[in-house]
Amino acid sequence: MHHEKLFTNSKHQFIILNIAGWAGYCLSSYVGAFYWDKPITYYWVLFIGSVLGLIVSFALRPIYRLVWDASLATRVTAVIFGSYVCSLIWVVPYNLIYWELYKHSYRPDTWSGYFWGISNVYYIFICWSCLYFGIKFYQGMQEASQRVLKANALAHEAQLKMLRYQLNPHFLFNTLNAISTLVLENQGERANEMVSRLSNFLRYSLDNDPMQKVTLEQEITTLNLYLGIEKVRFEERLELNFQIEPKAEKALIPSLILQPLVENSIKYAIAKSENGGVVNLNAKVFANELLLELRDNGPGVELIDGHLPNGRGVGVKNTKDRLKELYNDKHSFVISNVEPNGLQISIRLPYET
């Protein structure tokens, strides 16, 4: 944790990179001195010069931070003059040390000898300044990119939660309408049973994090809570047939992704048939993908370009939107009529455990 804070703090990053840069300059100078077989005193001159450069360069950071948000002309001016002033501050003591340690008693003929090599030093500080602005600009781009990613993630999460919670009012409307019908028909015991099961279902669904995926096995448990409510309404008219492979039970899927699809089948296939109907749910794993197939034996529907007509299947549209948000193009959702009658929904998802 302390190491992470050390490297994420901009001040610490500057210190580390500055020391590393001047250490690299010193090392490269040593290589040149070794090649030319310079005496040991010359190595000390290079070392002290590098330390002086390190110390002087720290003065540039507050100046550059001050002009960071200024115009381009102001920043360029700051780099030109700041680098030149630092070159003057560095080159004089460096040359004094150079004459004292390396050249010993020899002294330059004029005062200009103490500014010897200033053009090379100036070039070094110009490079240092360009690196500073380049690194800082890159860090700014990274921070901006992270902010955009975070904003997109929050928007994505909000969208998923909105889609997920849309199910509850839609489902509640249908269920409360059924309870009202039972009360009007003086079927108080069945209405009370439905209220009790509705309470269990809502408690389970609301306690479940909409951003958290669940196993297919858990999703079927939730589905059975919902179907327990519908069983009160339809009794023997509603027949359920689940065929789930053991491997598929462990697959992770979005929570409450099947309930609105089953609800749609019951509303348009079972409820409108005097004899009721059958809802089949098949699940298997193939080629590292989870294949879900939900089918009823209702009258089917006339599809428009593979989609339900407007006003039909609110839960189906909600499910399609959620899957698109979660998986983008790594899934498929296909609605089709089956022979001799019925509607089938086929879903293909990445197999995750």
Most confident region among 65-79, 104-118, 239-253, 263-277 by mean pLDDT: 239-253
The pLDDT of 203-225, averaged and rounded, is: 78
Calculate mean pLDDT across residues 270-279.
74
Per-residue pLDDT for 348 more than 90?
Answer: yes
Mean pLDDT across the stretch 314-332? 80
The per-residue b/e assignment along 233-268, b for 16 or more CB within 10 angstroms, e otherwise, is bbeebbeeeeebbeebeebbbbbbbbbbbbbbbbbb
Residues 6+ apart with CB under 8 A from 54: 18, 19, 22
pLDDT tens profile 226-267: 787 777 777 777 788 889 999 999 999 887 788 888 887 877
Average pLDDT for 263-275: 74
Provide the CB-side half-sphere exposure for 204 (13 A, CA): 19
What's residue 1's pLDDT? 46
Q: State the pTM of this model.
A: 0.54
Q: Which of 58, 132, 127 is nearest to 89 (CA)?
A: 58
Query: Domain 157-350 belongs to what topology?
Result: Heat Shock Protein 90 (3.30.565)
Q: Which amino acid is at 329?
A: D
Q: Is the pLDDT of residue 61 over 90?
A: no
pLDDT of residue 313: 63
32-54 pLDDT, tens digit each: 777 776 777 777 777 887 888 88
Over 80: is that where the pLDDT of 291 sits? yes
Q: Which tens digit of pLDDT belongs to each residue from 148-187? A: 666 566 555 555 555 555 555 666 777 788 788 888 888 8
Quick one: pLDDT at residue 250?
92
Q: Report percent pLDDT > 70 for the chain.
A: 79
- In this predicted structure, the answer to whether residue 2 has a pLDDT above a threshold of 50 is no
The three-point CA angle 55-59-60 to 5° equals: 120
Domain assignments of the chain as residue spans, ordered by start: 2-116, 157-350
- Model pLDDT, residue 43: 76
Residue 210 has pLDDT above 70, yes or no: no
